Chains A and B, each alone.
Chain A
Amino acid sequence: MSVRVALHSPSGSRSFLERGLLLLVILILLEGTVLTLGAASSPDIGAQDNTGGHDHRDDHRGIEGSRGNTNYTYTKKAFPVLSLDYHHIQVPFEISLWVLLASLMKLGFHLIPRLSSIVPESCLLIVVGLLVGGLIKLVGEEVPPVLDSKLFFLCLLPPIILDAGYFLPIRPFMENIGTILMFAVVGTLWNAFFVGGLLYAVCQIEGTYLSQVELLPCLLFGSIISAVDPVAVLAVFEEIHINELLHILVFGESLLNDAVTVVLYHLFEEYSGAGEVTPMDVVLGVICFLIVSLGGIAVGAIYGILAAFTSRFTSHTRVIEPLFVFVYSYMAYLSAEMFHLSGIMALIACGAVMRPYVEANISHKSHTTVKYFLKMWSSVSETLIFIFLGVATVAGPHSWNWTFVSVTVILCLVSRVIGVVGLTFIINKFRIVKLTTKDQFIVAYGGLRGAIAFSLGYLLDKDLFPTKTMFLTAIITEIFFTVFVQGMTIKPLVDLLAVKKKQEAKRSINEEIHTQFLDHLLTGIEDICGHYGHHHWKDKLNRFNKKYIKKCLIAGERYKEPQLIAFYHKMEFKQAIELVESGGGVKLPSAMPSQVSMQNIQPKKLPPAVAERALPQFTKGREEEIRKILRSNLQKTRQRLRSYNRHTLMADPFEDGWNDFLLKKQRMIELEKKMTEMSNYLTVPAAPPDSPTMCRARLASDPNAFYNIKASSDGVPTIQVDLASPQSPDSVNMLNEFSKRGATDQDLGQREGADRDEDQGLMMKPSSAGKEEKGEEEGGNKNPGLMRCLSDPGPSNEDEEDEPFLP
């Protein structure tokens, strides 16, 4: 077991003991898992074997065998309720065991410090599969056909593809669609015919004992082996962090070549049965390809639109929102498979089509759920696939033919290289950003084969293809070769060639602005140049989308929202959530970029004299203390609001995190304002230039206004800091919402904290100045937008003016 091996591997310096202990636990657990799986004894196979795909997986009656003797008695049941009925739970139990094994393995690898950076996870998982398969065989049990085609195509593959499709980076994908299609369609065709044809030629050479292999099976084999596998590519490419262009080229190819593979596979299978091919068949094949690919996309798009449309109406039942995404996608996949259309393309289309609309409709929490579920499912599926690949390898049967296998491996490499180089030569004539030699190398080298090929091979009819076992052996060898040799060496090679890596950067608002700006600029330049390039058509499409489609598919007013604003809101929201999660409204994690307040940016209007305003400074400790008091106060209010309901995650349709934040923020501002007011009245004896009512009015509308007051009271020219955008409708709405919904809550909280607030207000009064400086930077204005939105002269502020809540 590789975990055991890893125990000897050099582990990092920190707490070796601890990690070792954990590994030991995993190891023991694993041994247990394997033993239960392996220690099968009862031979009554077939009792439950006709219930479905899963049932074929395991024929063991593990636990029963080991424990059956102890309390399994028919004669006398002292406790009739207690009995051991393993059959009852066998199938789900064994499925769970496999999943558990997979998850634990994944967990284990990441605990070993350097292993996962040297060997790709996929390789390790295959090794684990091999070991598990070996163990099962050692115990003398027949290895279950784990990588059964039905199981693979209906259960394991869809999550991975949906994950890929849903999170497909649309922009680079569409920008390179021509290149991707070229590689996926022409490249795969070339590979299939090159490999198939040459293999046939080799088979005809005397002395290889392969002369019984005919041309059509060879071509079929070629088409199976030639397709780049999305699962393998994803597994390896996610680890090497290659730049976006190369990633999307290889990955996009692996996704889109499915249609070619499906068509070639079914065609050759058909022809092998029929025995002859006419030119008519070739034409039909091309038509078939178009139907399979476009049909798949159409099916996917229809379901995607349906999903988007459904999500329009889910605002009252938020909990089942994520389900729609999964179910519609799965339906799309199944529907496509039903007609032998390309299920993968249907899934991709479905995910890609529904995403922008669904995301606008569903709540933030549902979105997170979708994200996590997809990631979880796909990663478990991927792990299982690789483990099963290992198990299936042990299971056999194999028929090893040196010539066939080695020729296959060599031909696959050669055809891939020729194909990529040849196609890039053509593509580069049309591309603006040319593919360099390095890029070509990575694209060629990244062409990994995987479990799809194996499953397709497994599907072959033994009677029709007497050489099936030899094909399977060759396929497995090719998969192992690509995954192990290429998968392991690609990372050092990427480093060696200094291929541009992906930049880890979260998208900043500035980048988003410039992305939009650039789009419009380039569209404009194309229009001025007088030819309609792809920017122009993209612009047209965007406008059409905005005008009609979004209106139908997105609920409420949000369809009007331009992308930039949507992005801004999303970012703002994320920051708000982070703020809430960070435990308080005041102190923020240092990861937050903003260290500067809007105050620092106000253009030029501030005379340098302001710098000299004498404000009392406070020690950090004091500030912290005050904050703690504030925070605990607010926390209490928040906890009181929590209530559990199975059907709704939160008490109101609004995000409660958001609401919490609003509430806190609101109270914070109120407090701060109060304090400032007080300190204004108390510590600044000089008559303020404005009348007190004016002061109050301004304070109410703008929390930052106290700067002005302070400054002016010190005899410094007034600066009008117009932070509060006076009429931002959505923020006002927010407050409306808040004040409506949160009225009672607020009431509660306020009543509770009122007394304390009062005297704390007095106590804290002197701190306000220091707070206003530090708090401003650290907490308050981290989020100027929010601040603004909260400080808007909304109705709640007026309420606050009158202070109706205070007893």
Chain B
Amino acid sequence: MGASQSAGTEHEFQDMADRTGFSLEQIGNINKRFRQLSNNEETLSREDLASIPALDNNPIRAQIINAFFDKRNLHQNETGTVQEIGFEEFLMVMTHFRPAAMGLTEEERENLRREKLRFLFNMHDTDSDGTINLEEYRRVVEELLSKAGTIGQETAKAIADAAMLEVASTTRGKMEPDEFYEGITFENFLQILNTFDIETRMHVRFLNMDTATLRCGKSK
């Protein structure tokens, strides 16, 4: 997509807009931001994202950055990570954060829900084996509390254990002592976050106006 800098861009953007549901203006904005982040390169590397100063304070910064390079979020059936992403991939990750449109049918809503939760699930499931096991869950909570100093680290484990226990008991019911709960599968994940209105909560506002001039975030 790089070569078609000027001529193909319009067409490509239109194409992407059709596929992702973003408006052309939004794509234009995201593209501008992409170029800004990648220093006008075609691809974006982890370092580019890691250099955003505003992210420094984010406890789950590493996970967020990983999510952008996770193949599961980019293509449907592959696992593993990539080193660099192009604009299209960047945009694909962003689609997970689009607000729900008006007048969705029940089915569409459910799909949207699954899709958003899948994104979260993938962020937790670092080894891509389809379950979040205790180790992974502990890591999530630890990351989450990583800014809280030592108290956080010590409590994190307890919290993760309690959370895991909760998952096991809500999804499995009573377990025999010899049974073992392998980890949270995606179905379990859907189940425990049943009341969590992800479809109305997981979104950011993608502006239609040009924000590059505001120079937020990236200090140059």
A-chain residues with CB within 8 Å of residue B179 when the two chains form the complex: 600
Contacts A509-B159, A514-B193, A565-B152 given; does A593 touch B169 at CB 8 Å: yes
Can you report 6 A-B residue pairs in the complex whose CB atoms are below 8 A from each other?
Answer: A520-B64, A522-B202, A525-B64, A597-B175, A601-B164, A603-B134
| Interface residue SS majority, chain B | helix
> From residue 497 to 533 of chain A, which have CB atoms closer than 8 A to chain B?
503, 505, 508-511, 513-518, 520-533
Cβ contacts B190-206/A at 8 Å (1 or 0 each)? 00110110101111111
- B36, B162, B201 — which one has the most chain A CB atoms within 10 A of its CB? B162
Residue B33 at the chain A interface, CB threshold 8 Å: yes
In angstroms, Cα B204 to Cα A611, docked, is 49
Which of A264-272, A341-349, A724-732 has 4 or more CB atoms under 8 Å from chain B? Answer: A724-732
> From residue 98 to 148 of chain B, which have CB atoms closer than 8 A to chain A?
99-100, 102-103, 120, 123, 133-135, 140-141, 144-145, 147-148
Q: How far is the CB of B129 from chain A (nearest CB, A)?
A: 11
Report yes or no: A565 in contact with B134, Cβ–Cβ below 8 A.
no
Residue B6 at the chain A interface, CB threshold 8 Å: no
A432 interface neighbour in B54, B120, B192, B205, Cβ under 8 Å: B205
In angstroms, Cα B58 to Cα A572, docked, is 27
Report yes or no: B134 in contact with A602, Cβ–Cβ below 8 A.
yes
Residue B4 at the chain A interface, CB threshold 8 Å: no
**Total chain A interface residues with beta-carbon distance under 8 A:** 70
A530 interface neighbour in B100, B120, B178, B211, Cβ under 8 Å: B211
In angstroms, Cα B111 to Cα A774, docked, is 41
Contacts A532-B216, A568-B158 given; does A600 touch B181 at CB 8 Å: yes
Residue B217 at the chain A interface, CB threshold 8 Å: yes
Report yes or no: B211 in contact with A531, Cβ–Cβ below 8 A.
yes
Report yes or no: A503 in contact with B204, Cβ–Cβ below 8 A.
no
> From residue 469 to 521 of chain A, which have CB atoms closer than 8 A to chain B?
503, 505, 508-511, 513-518, 520-521
A510 interface neighbour in B68, B192, B211, Cβ under 8 Å: B192
Residue A434 at the chain B interface, CB threshold 8 Å: yes
Report yes or no: B180 in contact with A604, Cβ–Cβ below 8 A.
yes
In angstroms, Cα B38 to Cα A361, docked, is 48
A-chain residues with CB within 8 Å of residue B195 when the two chains form the complex: 503, 505, 511
A601 interface neighbour in B68, B148, B180, Cβ under 8 Å: B180
Report yes or no: A543 in contact with B193, Cβ–Cβ below 8 A.
no
A565 interface neighbour in B145, B174, B175, Cβ under 8 Å: B145
Cβ contacts B168-185/A at 8 Å (1 or 0 each)? 111011110111111100
A593 interface neighbour in B55, B141, B149, B166, Cβ under 8 Å: B166
Report yes or no: B166 in contact with A508, Cβ–Cβ below 8 A.
yes
A-chain residues with CB within 8 Å of residue B39 when the two chains form the complex: none
Residue A595 at the chain B interface, CB threshold 8 Å: yes
B-chain residues with CB within 8 Å of residue A606 when the two chains form the complex: 180
Residue A15 at the chain B interface, CB threshold 8 Å: no
B-chain residues with CB within 8 Å of residue A564 when the two chains form the complex: 141, 144-145, 159
| Interface residue SS majority, chain A | helix
B-chain residues with CB within 8 Å of residue A532 when the two chains form the complex: 216-217
Q: How far is the CB of B42 from chain A (nearest CB, A)?
A: 18
Q: How far is the CB of A571 from chain B (nearest CB, A)?
A: 8
Q: Give the interface residue-count category, chain B.
A: 35 or more
Cβ contacts A533-576/B at 8 Å (1 or 0 each)? 11110010001000000000000000011101100100110000
B175 interface neighbour in A503, A593, A596, A610, Cβ under 8 Å: A596
B-chain residues with CB within 8 Å of residue A539 when the two chains form the complex: 57
In angstroms, Cα B194 to Cα A508, docked, is 11
Report yes or no: A595 in contact with B169, Cβ–Cβ below 8 A.
yes
In angstroms, Cα B192 to Cα A515, docked, is 13
B-chain residues with CB within 8 Å of residue A523 when the two chains form the complex: 58
Report yes or no: B201 in contact with A518, Cβ–Cβ below 8 A.
yes
B-chain residues with CB within 8 Å of residue A511 when the two chains form the complex: 192-193, 195-196
Report yes or no: B182 in contact with A604, Cβ–Cβ below 8 A.
yes
Q: How far is the CB of B178 from chain A (nearest CB, A)?
A: 4
B214 interface neighbour in A509, A531, A776, Cβ under 8 Å: A531
Contacts A529-B206, A530-B33 given; does A510 touch B193 at CB 8 Å: yes
B-chain residues with CB within 8 Å of residue A520 when the two chains form the complex: 58-60, 64, 144
A-chain residues with CB within 8 Å of residue B169 when the two chains form the complex: 593-596
Report yes or no: B134 in contact with A530, Cβ–Cβ below 8 A.
no
Report yes or no: B61 in contact with A524, Cβ–Cβ below 8 A.
yes
> From residue 700 to 733 of chain A, which have CB atoms closer than 8 A to chain B?
725, 727-730
Q: Known pairs A513-B141, A531-B216. 20 more at Cβ < 8 A?
A: A508-B170, A510-B163, A511-B196, A517-B144, A522-B203, A524-B60, A527-B54, A530-B211, A530-B214, A531-B207, A562-B151, A565-B151, A593-B170, A594-B169, A595-B174, A595-B175, A598-B161, A600-B168, A604-B180, A784-B158
- 3 smallest CB-CB distances across A and B, nearest first, come from A527-B54, A524-B64, A611-B178
In angstroms, Cα B193 to Cα A503, docked, is 12
Residue B157 at the chain A interface, CB threshold 8 Å: yes
Q: Which residue of B lies closest to A599 (CB)?
A: B177
B-chain residues with CB within 8 Å of residue A528 when the two chains form the complex: 33, 37, 49, 52, 55, 64, 68, 217
A785 interface neighbour in B162, B192, B212, Cβ under 8 Å: B162
Q: Which residue of B lies closest to A774 (CB)?
A: B177
Contacts A518-B202, A601-B134, A601-B164 given; does A725 touch B173 at CB 8 Å: no
Residue A665 at the chain B interface, CB threshold 8 Å: no
Report yes or no: B151 in contact with A560, Cβ–Cβ below 8 A.
yes
In angstroms, Cα B168 to Cα A599, docked, is 11
- A561, A564, A776, A777 — which one has the most chain B CB atoms within 10 A of its CB? A564
Report yes or no: B145 in contact with A597, Cβ–Cβ below 8 A.
no
Residue A773 at the chain B interface, CB threshold 8 Å: yes
Report yes or no: B94 in contact with A529, Cβ–Cβ below 8 A.
yes
